[in-house]
Structure 1
Amino acid sequence: MRSLGTLPKPVLILEVVGIAFLLLSYLSLNGYVALPAPFGNATAAIVMVFLGIAFMIPAAVFMVWAMAQNVAPLLTKGSPPVNKSLSDQPKDKHHDADH
């Protein structure tokens, strides 16, 4: 992939929301941000970490799939490579092992 701008908009939005959850949980655990009572404890911060990771998974899957299509087209389309058998090779070919 050339840039993150090539991600679909919903996937990009999920990525930003996931990063926001991770940032918010970090800031609340270290005391930089005071959250309301239900969200201000350590359990809520752990839940925010898992939510942040869960929201970031679609972007990772999309990027891996796009790289698989670019790097290994045999995974998504195309025909298998043609194997040349040893009998198709010329007999007079010199190898280092023959010397």
Structure 2
Amino acid sequence: MADTRTAIDTAKAIEPDVVLADIRMPGAGGILTEREDEVVALLAYGRTNAEIAAELFLAPGTVKNHIAAIQRKTGSRNRVAIAAWAWATGRTEP
């Protein structure tokens, strides 16, 4: 639970405008693809990889690859941190 709370507190401390600029601007840390945005939204709602795969008509391994790319691009250590980042940047609501 401590890791979850730390990830959420860290995400809240990040200014969303700065994070969005880093993610959305080419040459400024990479960009998320449209599909990665869809994966982030579902992940933030607590969906499992299998549920995300079924909803987006993807193989579970493809979902894992998308999550790894999202982690790399956002600097997140795990899916909880991705969800906290999504909430903090306004991509989805908790």
TM bucket (normalised to shorter chain) is 0.3 to 0.5
TM-score, structure 2 length as denominator?
0.32
TM-score (norm 1): 0.31
Higher relative contact order (CA 8 A, sep 6+): 2
